[in-house]
Amino acid sequence: AVRALVPAAHGTPLVIAHRGASAYAPENTLAAVDRAARMGFAWVENDVQRTRDGELVVVHDETLARTTDVEERFPGRAPWRVRDFTAAEIATLDAGGWFGPAWAGARVPTLAGYLRRVDRNGQKLLLEIKRPELYPGIERDTLRVLRAEGWLDRDRDRLRRRLVVQSFGAESLRTVHREHPGVVTGFLGAPPVAELPAHAAFVDQINPSHTAVTPEYVAAVRRLKGPHGKRLRVHTWTVNDPAAARRVAAAGVDGIITDRPDVVRDALARP
């Protein structure tokens, strides 16, 4: 049901719900995944980091302070870094109350739990390995969880259609590509045009901030082929207003990452 609602016409940028439908539900929670599904959006983006005891969890900031009640619950543990807490401790935090009382009780998902929910909803995942420099080996950890949850055991086409792993860390993506070449990868940033061919050896997407998107840059990316022999794609972030959505669509991007997927969808439907 979700897939049928996603704009799929050739030339219409894919709309991806950033941290889930994060304007309408607390970011990076299962509630934000479900909210995107109910709004008809198949693709969700998330951020993956690692706990002190090696569990992968879905949270954006390097610390838990902004999006959980960690300061009240663990007052002596400043600066409340994700990597200084165990998975069991993080599982007790409220990751929804900061967004609004109706969301109190939402949890910081484990990556495994997040994948199950995305799968159950029939959705697709743009998974960001966040701050890989802080978490040596997180690429293999991520692939291990994906494999354990059955995401890597499927045929290549199916894998390509439902998972992209992206990061600001080029070395991280090189590792993911080397360890599991079937996984589609996306580099977050806008490398100079001269450096694009080197990236095309191990990434399938160049995903720049919308401030870096011009028709010329998008065309330069799309002229190249990635490691799977398909042309490189461009997914841009974080576009939350109609005028910006129309501008990047006119520049030729393949996807738009947004906190407000409904706003972007409407903007593209009524140019």
Q: Which two tokens stand for residue 255?
A: 């996807």
Question: Is residue 257 a contact point for ligand G3P (CB under 6 A)?
Answer: yes
Dist CA 253 CA 245 (whole Å): 10
Q: Minimal distance in Å, beta carbon 124 to ligand G3P?
A: 14
Q: Minimal distance in Å, beta carbon 228 to ligand G3P?
A: 21
Question: Is residue 138 a contact point for ligand G3P (CB under 6 A)?
Answer: no
Q: Which partner, Ca ion, ligand G3P, none, binds residue 188 by CB below 5 to 8 Å per kind?
A: ligand G3P
Q: Give the residue with the Cβ less far from Ca ion, 129 or 249.
A: 129
User: Are residues 141 and 69 in contact, defined by beta-carbon separation less than 8 angstroms?
Assistant: no
Distance of CA 90 to the CA centre of its chain: 21
Interface residue with ligand G3P, options 55, 128, 141, 259 (CB under 6 A):
128
Q: What is the CA radius of gyration of the chain?
A: 18
Position of minimal CB gap to ligand G3P: 237
User: Are residues 27 and 258 in contact, defined by beta-carbon separation less than 8 angstroms?
Assistant: no
Dist CA 223 CA 232 (whole Å): 7
Of residues 198-217, those binding ligand G3P (CB under 6 A):
none
User: Are residues 172 and 203 in contact, defined by beta-carbon separation less than 8 angstroms?
Assistant: no
Question: Is residue 27 a contact point for ligand G3P (CB under 6 A)?
Answer: no
Using CB under 6 A, list all residues that contact ligand G3P: 18, 45, 47, 60, 128, 188, 237-238, 257
